Structure formats: structure tokens, C-alpha cells
Amino acid sequence: MRRQFNQRDPIYLQLIDYFREKLVSNQFKPGEELPSRREIARQFNINPNTVQRAFSEMEEMSWIYTEPHRPSRVTQNTELIQKIKKDFVRRAVETFVSSIQTIDISYEEVTELVEKELSKRNYPNGGIKK
């Protein structure tokens, strides 16, 4: 659970991103209980309300659910998790393409640069991470 938050982006967004990463990389069992807001706040040394903010948004997106007076749980909808993953990638691709298309550069150059950057980060072919 050790992770530093940068000082640039809102903490609650970084929290959401943190959970997204765990979600799409199967680090959660479906329906798994999450630590309480206050517990997480303690671990990250942030305000409980900030955690609540993140939880609210994740609940809004159905990433988690909370029965009254029960700990929040990770969604049991595995299709949703796949969708989160797909949407995330799609959005990243769109943002990327949208920005580079203002540049006069060939497709081959682009993919070569992407490939280079991927391998630079020890990202072997085949999708086995780290």
C-alpha cells in the first residue's frame, strides 16, 4: 500500500487511479471487502473525506458498492472490469493520437517510438508485465 501522491493532481483522482490499476490487473477478488475510509486515510496520511470523495465517484461508476452500514466492496461484475480496462485504453489511445496528429509525422515513426518507449520500460512483447 506504499505509494506517494504527486502534488500536482488532486489526491482523490490519484486514489481512483490507484484502485483502477488494482481493479484491471486482477488484484481484487470480485466482491472483496475494501478497508474503511478512515483506515485508508491513515495509510496514505490523507483526510478521510478525500477517500470518501474517491469512493463516491467509484460507487457512481459502479466500481464498488456499499450496502448500508457495511464495508464497501469491489464490484462482482467481471464484465464491467473488462469494460473499465477497455475504456481506459481506448481513451489513452484517443488522447495520444489526437495530440500527435497535429504533428507532421509518419505512422511508422509513431509506432517505432511507442515500441522503443515500451521496451525502454522493460515491457517485453506478449504483454507479460514487469
Residue ranges that bind its own copies, judged by CB under 8 A: 20-21, 24-26, 85, 88-90, 92-97, 99-111, 113-115, 117-118, 121, 123, 125-127, 129
Q: How far apart are CB 124 and its own copies at their closest, in Å?
A: 8
Alpha helices (H) in the chain, listed in sequence order: 11-24, 37-44, 48-60, 78-100, 107-120
112 C-beta neighbours (distance < 10 Å), count: 11
Partner interacting with residue 114 (select from its own copies, DNA, none; CB below 5-8 Å by kind):
its own copies
User: Would you state the cell numbers that stand for residue 7, as one nine-digit string?
Assistant: 502534488
Q: Which lies closer to its own copies via its Cβ, residue 33 or residue 117?
A: 117
